[in-house]
Homo-oligomer: A and B are copies of this chain.
Amino acid sequence: MSPSLFEKHKAQLELATAALATRGYWSAFAEMPSPKSYGETAAEAGKQAFEAHLGKAFELNQPGQTGVHAGEQSPYGTKLDVRYPVCDPQALVEAALRAMPAWGEVGAEGRTGLLMEALQRLNQRSFEIGHAVMMTTGQAWMMAFQAGGPHAQDRGLEAVACAWREQAAIPRTAIWEKPQGKNAPLRMAKNFEIVGRGVAVVIGCGTFPTWNTYPGVFAALATGNPVIVKPHSNAILPAAITVAAIREVLSENGIDPNVITLAVTPHRSATAMLVKHPDVKSVDFTGSNTFGNWLIDHCKQAQVYAELAGVNNVVIESTDAYRAMLKNLAFTLSLYSGQMCTTTQAIIVPADGIATDEGHKSFDAVAFDLGQAIESFLADPKVAHAVLGAIQSADTLQRIEEAHQFAEVVLPSRKLDHPEFPGAQVRTPMLLKCDAQNESAYMVERFGPISFVVKAADAHAAVALSERIAREHGALTAGIYSTRPEIVDAMVRGTWRSKVALSINLTGSIFVNQSAAFSDYHGTGGNPSANASYADSAFVANRFRVVQRRAHI
């Protein structure tokens, strides 16, 4: 069975690994929720499938069930009330360990085939997952579909392809024949067995419950490890659907489905017990520095792959496309109300302003014009709701409330009424401005739609500040707007030291906060915002070990 799934998906796997080698545009899964790609009935069927979960028990048939848990609060204010099984973490670990040897013996080919089959199955459920992501995270529909569905699946496939590339580089067997001059050579037969490290725990976040989870889930599974998914308490449904879909594919193919389980842990102590379990050998995490650093400090038995907070920033030094630049930035700051780990928080502008195709613009003018660009972009409520979505957490709402204390408000955040969801917490972005010295305002992550236009002494100070922010506080994204090659070059060299991905003069429909699987690395793993990258060799290579044996022939 498994070899045939490998054969079934082999052509696509070759395209995926070829894409990794060239890093041009490539995508396995259609990003538009169109009938052409997904079938005439997919949209309606997916919505119904999502709605069928509401108010019901979500069945997973996992071991060690001790109760059920509900409690997801939709940022759209609708009632979800899905009841998930709560399972004893120890029972989940034991079930994972029982499933592990057979999962290892399926081999790299078998696992790759099964996981590509599972990704295809997930893709077919993209509408269902899209609605689940939308209603748990507050993302607007298009983003929820794309980032929650095909883009997440692409990142999952990317991890499978990376893992395949590393595993395929290791021969299963070798004949070792050492010449002995005139004597017969020494000959040995060697076998190289790829074995997973142990149980993997993947901890999801509340904003991107699939996109930020699939890389770890699929990398760990592909390399022979059973996985326990610990979703964010408010974004369980997308994870539950994912786990159910993968379990289904495993079961259909005669594999113990406990290769992947869902750990809904209403109590923190259960999560702590799980991640510190001696048989848990890797933890993937996306979320706060507080918990992320706790994991790194306390889970010494495991390799921790962490994406934490950062202070993403853009330097504006000069531009020959002022309006287009402002529009581009306005979209970035508005998308999902700035609740992306890649959203720009600090926009650094020299104190004496910038040269543009519309003449010189003072620092204050740039800040004002950016505020106006946001206002104008969001003036049409249809556009606003399609872009902003809703605010995911009460913490973010509170941060918006309090932000005016930290700097001078250029553009206040507004509460919008959602035409479809009266209970939705919708907020427009808030823009502030301050001096570079006011580090306490802007040099700490203020997750959500809160950004600062920061006044730097001059262009070089702006570039240096960007580097220092990324080095000391981390950043997943950086941007530069400049018509001067020497400034762009200085910024480029700064990013080599601070290890942050750089977007240069984005004025069209590519945005600094977007990254495309198979081409853009998400995070470099080299500054405090993340110790790993989606997805490079380092993300997969240490998830398995090679155990060799040798004997004379």
Contact = CB atoms under 8 A, between A and B. Distances in A.
Contacts of A496: 101, 104, 193, 195, 547
Interface in A506-553: 506-510, 516, 519-521, 524-526, 533, 536-538, 541-542, 545-552
Interface stretch (A17-25, A243-251, A395-403): A17-25
Nearest to A187: B25
Interface in A82-126: 101, 104
A477 to B, nearest CB: 11
A385 interface: no
B501 A524 contact: no
Identical subunits present: 2
A497 B175 CA distance: 24
Contacts of A104: 496
Contacts of A69: none
Contact of A550 (B171, B175, B503, B549): B503
A425 to B, nearest CB: 33
A550 B504 contact: yes
B552 A533 contact: no
Contact of A545 (B21, B174, B503, B533): B533
B23 A190 contact: yes
Nearest to A495: B547
A161 B476 CA distance: 30
A151 interface: no
Contacts of A521: 192, 546, 548
Contact of A177 (B25, B186, B501, B552): B25
A104 to B, nearest CB: 7
Contacts of A520: 190, 548, 550
A500 interface: yes
A505 B552 CA distance: 8
B501 A552 contact: no
Nearest to A195: B496
A502 interface: yes
Nearest to A548: B501
A174 B548 contact: no
A499 interface: yes
A193 B188 CA distance: 41
A151 to B, nearest CB: 13
A24 B176 contact: yes
A198 to B, nearest CB: 9
A484 interface: no
B546 A195 contact: no
Contacts of A546: 521, 524, 533, 536
A277 interface: no
A504 B176 contact: no
A550 to B, nearest CB: 6
A492 interface: yes
A166 interface: yes
A552 B166 contact: no
Given A22-B171, A510-B186, A541 B547 contact: no
B23 A169 contact: no
Instruction: Give the one of A22, A516, A547, A550 with max B CB within 10 A.
Output: A547
A502 B22 contact: no
Contacts of A548: 501-502, 520-521
Contacts of A502: 547-550
Nearest to A507: B552
Given A536-B541, A545-B526, A503 B174 contact: no
Instruction: Give the one of A169, A516, A537 with max B CB within 10 A.
Output: A537
B541 A501 contact: no
A197 interface: yes
Interface in A169-225: 169, 171, 174-179, 186, 188, 190, 192-193, 195, 197
B506 A552 contact: yes
A165 interface: yes
B504 A526 contact: no
B536 A23 contact: no
16 contacts: A25-B177, A169-B537, A174-B519, A176-B516, A178-B516, A186-B508, A190-B519, A496-B547, A501-B547, A502-B547, A503-B551, A524-B546, A526-B547, A536-B546, A538-B538, A541-B541
Given A501-B548, A504-B551, 20 more contacts: A21-B169, A22-B174, A23-B174, A23-B190, A24-B174, A24-B176, A165-B169, A166-B537, A176-B516, A192-B521, A501-B547, A502-B549, A507-B552, A508-B552, A510-B552, A524-B545, A536-B541, A537-B541, A538-B538, A541-B541
